[in-house]
Each structure stands twice: as structure tokens, then as C-alpha cells.
Chains A and B, each alone.
Chain A
């Protein structure tokens, strides 16, 4: 019989505990029951604010399905523990049951602490802790917005700390005006000093958030409806506001422990020893509810450490709490703030090196030992790019002039030069050291950032360590002799994205000029098609024009797909998969006349196989005459926009998915890109078009369209992630235009959108900022590029048929007009297929 561990609380730390225990307890000594008061599996509270930027709440969930389906794990959602009977070793549940335990783990976290302000319980007042909190907030703001479409919703956040500023960002994301009220004389008083606070205030105000510091909230005033309408401050002044968010700190949820007679700290929290045991050795406490070494930690990393310790101890280990640091970084609002170590230089004999530039909007300070060598702490406001590299150096010698880290631009370069010791912590959320990352590459065979993330968990929580993790992975790969593929091939040291930029800036449009300027040699089958694709993306006429023709891979060169016997397949465009009976019959007749093997593809269209080079023009002529055009099955370009039948016929459809799919297919047809592009449009959430398996997936809602991006079938399947919700037609098209153009400009060669989103700095959030909020100021350029593409579109088949020079290449032999007679076929299931030419013919030299 296995022993039973009951975990009270289903938060982040509880999740980590279950994961740690299950991965170590191979023999199945313990079964675990998790009691989670919230009606959902543990989720990433740290990323809660992304709920407002359109992220699918499901994606916040922690723990792979396997973890919760493990027979030794039972997650009971929506059930709270109400009392502990230590003598009987049982827990009482909100369902009235009693559950016995061999060991009890308290992971109840904390709740938002609301100050005793009159009116703080009125409708319109919120806290910011759970998914339900943010969902309520969102619903309320949206309701107000539709009640008063004529003016913006006014919101106020009480508390100017990390959480308060996140909440202010959330209000903005909801389209509300926001004011932050802070009692202290500056924002983020626990993390930044006066100089940093001043700079931070300017940056936050530049974003349109009002900041009131040194201001005490006295009262929330109500309208007659009982809803919040204004706030009154201690100095008698007031402010109209309909939404108030209290972000004034948290209180450990130690109520069960108190009632059960366990020791609690002076300022709350269940007192535990270095092994995370409470005063009852059968009960541990971990995470935000625990008071360890006299202190309650409001951060996830120390909680994760406690989870690991508890799992280790239960299995007979002797792990102890290693201490923690309170490094923090503001994640949202687009303002860089970081604070780490002894940020306020409270230690004896410390030196401070500071740099401030009000024009550039940066303030940076490092705290050093008295010999100016060892890094003790720091504050970075406005530009925290050095944070990821500096944090692991805490308590260590920097090994270079500290000023180098503070000067703009140089900072990053200096940071790149430092060599981190193996035991330096890199990801504090997940306790991953530089050594573990190196080992993942050198010994565990991880070949990419994504694999290292999967294997070590580094960078998977707040993400602030990602730049450093990436750098470590690349350095280690170089060291292991694995070539870090940045350059395209032996002819170009530039990556595809760099080359794209270069070609765009210099305006060169022939391969010979481009390779002379940016590369060497005569090119190859890697760089030539890449340059051809870049030139096509930048709008340089027909892909077979002039020198461009010679660069194309055979598929693009023949505007058809090469098959194993050297013939080609022909795929006419069938936008959205919609085709008339006459259209079907035309295709059928052509297939019959040319004896082409015919198959319905996985992309909702028809492929005609076995066409000889010299037959292609005649086949196209018939198709073009009947109103068909090239389906670009051969190009690294838009393939198909798959659709379901949608509203016009389906009894569940809520939008016309076929019309949208056709519109999108016609808009993006012929668009050359780093890899092929596939889109899908479904008429309702049942998702019959499998849109979430596509690079761009569109799913109809009652209000409009939800947009998903980065899906993939193929080698590494991936579901597309929610990018934006309830867009109208124009908003949808604009978002897709920019998304695709941004991808085309920045992705690597043969990198599908899925891999691109995994690799690009800042990930999906960054791309969303660029596309929806124009954070790089390139939206106009992207829109113009797409407009050029649409305006310049021509059917590639028709253009060949109309141009004798291009047409001339479609012959089998340059010196003989007869067809290639070496091709042989047999009939199978009523159609012909190639006889494979007697085995590969590998001429061996004597």
C-alpha cells in the first residue's frame, strides 16, 4: 500500500511539488491528492496579465496532461480543505468528506490584502490574484464600455509596486484610462531608489498612465446604484473612477494552520524549518504560505525550491533551503525595470556606480564591494538588457570595468563577454544554473533553445532569463563544435533575415550583385533559392524573369512539383476548397486527356501527377482557359486556406468561413515566404477546418473572428496559439497582413511560423506587440509591403503562356523536340503510376 500525501492548495508551488515527487518516486511509494479550491488545474499566476493580451487562459495551465492523468495523482478541482485534525491525521473538505493523510503539504499561497479603506467592497472594486479576478475585472470593464461607448472607462490602481503596475497595464490593455495611486513617495518603492523611481515615473507617464505618489487613499465613494464612482484621498482631494484595483500586497493563507495550532510567524505565514517542516513533522508548508528563515517569500522561485526540498525529504533526501534572492523584473507595460541583490546599498562599505540619461529615459546603478570588483546588487530602469547577464554574477567578481555594463549598447557586448561559472544561477524562477544549461547541450544532446527549455525548464516562467539562456546555448554549441548556423551557407555569412534586410536596404535585385556585395563564390542550391525568395517577397516581377529564373529550385523553375521519376505534378488553385461541378469536370477532363494520376490532396484540392516538362504548358493552357490559375503547390509561399462549409450550410456556423477563406487565399496567393504558409478558417469553435494546425488559423465567434498563429502539422506538430479575439473582418485581415510580413522579414530559411515563434526574441508576446500595437513602428511599412504584393500579383502560369521566352524552356531537350521516352508506367487501381527505373544507378569509378 502506498502512503498518501495530501496537498492543500492547487497553485504554482503545489504543481511543482507534484511534478518533483512523481519524477523522483519511481517506485510509487506515494499517492498524492491535490485539493485545489480554484475550479481549474494549477496555472501560471506569474503570467496572469497575459490574460488581457488575448492569450488563451488554457495556455496558462501548468503540468502536462500526463501529470494529472498519472494514476498516483489525483487533482480535485473546486474543493477546499476546511480543517486539519492533526491527531487523526485527516483533513476536512468543503464537500463534507474527510481525507486521511500520511503526510500533509500546505501550499495554500496567499490572498490579496485589501487595506481597511471604506468602500473597498463596492461593486467595481477588484483584487488581482486569480483567473477569476481578472475575468471579473474584464467583464466589468467591457460592460462599462458598452454602457458608455462615448467615453473611456476610468480605472485606478491602488498600489504602485510590481503588481500595481502590472494591473495598470492590464487596465490599459482593456482600453481603460488608468491612474496609479501610491502611498510612498515613488513607484516600486521596494525595488528602486529615488533616482530610479523618478525615471520610472517618467516612463510610466509617457505610456499614458497617470501617477500619484505620496497619496493615501481614504475612501471609495459609491453612486446610488451601489457601484464605485470616485475615490477620496487623505488630503481631501478626489478622483472620478469607476474601477478600482487594490494591489496593496498579499497575506499568507495560514488560517488552516493557525486553527490547527501550528506555529505562525509574527507577520503571518506557517513557520517551517530548513526542511520545510512545520512544528508537526507530518505537515510541511511550501510556497507563499510558508515562513522560512523568518521570512515569507512572495516570489515563485523560493516556492519552487521549497517544493523540491519537500519532495526530496519525503523520499529520504536531506535537501535544505538554499536561501533566495528577491530579484524582480517588471514584465509588462513595455517598461524595463530590474532590481536585484542589495539594490539599496545597505551593506557596509558598498560602492555605487550610477548612470542616468533622462533624454534616453534610462537610469542604471550597480552596487559593488568596496574594491569595486564584486557585484552586490543593482537597479536598471528604462533599459534592463544587462539584467539577465548581471543577475547570475551577484556575489561574484565582474572581471571587467563595471561602467561597461551601464553605458548604452556597450552593456550588452560587455555582458556577452563574461564567462559564467557553472554554479551561477541563470533562471531563478526554475533554479537552473549555467552548468545545467551547458550540460543539456553538451551531454543531453539538446540542439536548440526550444529543446533546452523543454529539458531544463529554464526560461519557461517569467522569461527574463531567456536572452542569457540563448547566449549560453549558442556558446556551448560552438564549443562542442556544433556549428551555430547563423550564416546561410558557405557563400553567405548573413542569416536569411539579415540578408533580407541588406537586400531591402541596398535595393539590389540580381543575384550576381548581391553575392558580390554580401557573399562569395557562385552560390549553391541553398542560397540561390533563398535570394530568389527574398527578391520575390520584395516584389521583383515574375519569378522566372531574367537572372531570377536561374536561381529557382526545380519546382519554382517549372512552376510544378518534381516527382520521383522526374515528371511533375500540377495543382490548380481551388480557393477555400470550393469548386463548381463544372470546375470539377474540367479538371477531370484534363486529367483524362493527359492521362494524369489524380488525387485529392490533404489541402482540399486536386493534384494531377505525371506531367512531363513538355506537357506542362498545354495542361496550364486548358486550366487557364477554364478560369483556373496556379495553386503554388511548388512555392515556398501560400499553399491553401482550408475551410469548413460554415454558416451558409452548417447548422452550427456563426460566420461565413468559406467566404473568408476564399478572400484570404486570394489575398495572399503567390506570397513568397521563408517556408510554405498554410491557413485555415473554421465557421465555429467545433473547428472542422483544423485551423489550429495551420500557420494562421481563424475561428469564427459570435462577435467576429479569433486569430491563432504558429500552428504546424508535419515533423513537429504544434497547435496555433491565440493571438487576438473577436476581430472584425478588417481587423483580422490587417493582423494577418502584418503577421505574415513580419514573419517574412525576420524568419530563417525554411523556418515555419511555429519554429519562428519559438525562436524569436520575446516570442509570441513580442510579435503580438509588433502586429497589434506597432511596438517597432513598422506597421505602416508592413502594410505597404502587403499592398504591393497584392497589387503586383499575377498568375504565374498565365504569364509563362503569354511569354515566348519563358515558354521556350518547357521542352525535354534543347536539341530535340521529341519527349523523353525513358519514362515507364504501369496501371494500378485504375490509374497509372511510375515503374521505378531499375534501382539507383551508382556508377563506381575504377
Chain B
């Protein structure tokens, strides 16, 4: 099942918004190159649903740049691709499938952790 989020053009660039996907809340991030990621909105460190209000950024890990979302509560950064917390790799936000149909962003299933 795919849930419509918004038109791509209506999403803020390099920032997140919150969306409802069934009973889940996800944080949807549109990067400057129009890639879109969806991770869990619940900040695992505070338990509050606030990830969508964090700052989007980047960090270089082992020579490769990873795009990140930082929690607005206690500032841990998470990898947008994997949902992993960069400072505590055992902690994960969860990631959701994203696809673009025409110019509409849709979110699918929560991806199984690998």
C-alpha cells in the first residue's frame, strides 16, 4: 500500500516534514538533488515524535559523504539512507520505501532492517 505525501515541488528542500502512514509517523526529507527519504518520526532518544523538525545535513564517514537528519531534541545525527544513529550505531530510526509517481511523492512499507 502506498500513501500519498505531497507533490515533490511542495516539499521544502533540505528540510523534513512529518507525514502519517497508517498508524506510523514518518519524517520525509527532500534533498537539493530531489532525492527523497523517509525515516521514522520518533526520536529514539527522547521518545518524542520530532525527527521531522530536525536539521538536514551531511557528514563524511570513512571517506564517503552520508546525508543526515539530526534530532532537534538532543542533536544525535541519523543516516537518512539506513536510519542508523551515527554516534550509536545500534540505534535506528527505521526507514520507509519512497517512490515518485509523476510529481507526487508516495511512501510505502517500512523497510526490513538488514
Contacts and interface: CB of A to CB of B under 8 A. Distances in A.
Contact of B49 (A491, A566, A839, A840): A566
Contacts of A838: 47
Interface in B3-18: 3-6, 10-15, 17-18
28 contacts: A490-B59, A491-B57, A512-B32, A522-B67, A523-B58, A524-B55, A524-B58, A524-B77, A529-B55, A553-B55, A554-B53, A562-B50, A562-B53, A564-B46, A564-B48, A564-B73, A566-B46, A566-B50, A812-B18, A813-B25, A814-B19, A815-B6, A815-B19, A840-B46, A841-B44, A843-B91, A844-B92, A845-B113
Given A566-B50, A840-B46, A845-B84, 17 more contacts: A491-B57, A521-B58, A521-B60, A522-B65, A524-B58, A524-B68, A549-B12, A550-B56, A554-B53, A814-B19, A815-B4, A842-B90, A843-B91, A843-B92, A844-B90, A844-B92, A845-B89
B14 A840 contact: no
B57 A815 contact: no
Nearest to A521: B58
A528 B13 CA distance: 14
Contact of B47 (A512, A524, A557, A841): A841
Nearest to A838: B47
B45 A840 contact: yes
Interface of A: 490-491, 512, 521-525, 528-529, 547, 549-551, 553-554, 557-558, 562, 564-566, 809, 812-816, 820, 822, 836-846
A550 B4 CA distance: 23
B16 to A, nearest CB: 10
B108 interface: no
B54 A554 contact: yes
A522 B70 contact: no
Contacts of A815: 3-6, 19-20
Interface residues of B, number: 50
A521 B5 CA distance: 28
A813 B3 CA distance: 13
Interface in B53-93: 53-60, 65, 67-68, 70, 72-73, 75, 77, 84, 89-93
Contact of A813 (B10, B20, B31, B48): B20
Contacts of B75: 525
B44 A843 contact: yes
Contacts of A547: 13
Contact of A550 (B14, B44, B47, B72): B14
| Interface SS majority for chain A | loop
A657 B14 CA distance: 46
B57 A525 contact: yes
B55 A525 contact: yes
Nearest to A814: B17
B44 A845 contact: no
B59 A524 contact: yes
Contacts of B68: 524
Nearest to A823: B49
B56 A816 contact: no
B57 A522 contact: yes
Given A553-B55, A816-B20, A820-B49, A844 B72 contact: no
Contacts of B19: 813-816
B98 interface: no
Contacts of A550: 12-15, 56
Q: Which of B45, B46, B57, B70 has the most CB of A within 10 A?
A: B57
Q: Which 9 A-B pairs have the closest CB atoms?
A: A524-B57, A522-B58, A566-B48, A554-B72, A525-B55, A525-B70, A837-B47, A814-B17, A550-B15
A813 B11 CA distance: 12
Nearest to A523: B57
Contacts of A816: 19-20
A377 B20 CA distance: 76
Contacts of B73: 562, 564
Nearest to A568: B53
Q: Which of B53, B68, B89 has the most CB of A within 10 A?
A: B53
A843 B94 contact: yes
Contacts of B50: 554, 562, 566
Nearest to B73: A562
Contacts of B20: 813, 815-816
B53 A557 contact: yes
Contacts of B17: 809, 813-814
Contacts of B92: 843-845
A757 B46 CA distance: 35
B93 to A, nearest CB: 8
Nearest to B28: A814
Contacts of B44: 840-843
A528 B12 CA distance: 16
A844 B44 CA distance: 10
A558 B72 CA distance: 12
Given A490-B59, A815-B6, A816-B20, A521 B65 contact: yes
Nearest to B75: A525
A841 B41 CA distance: 12
Nearest to A554: B72
Contacts of B46: 564, 566, 840
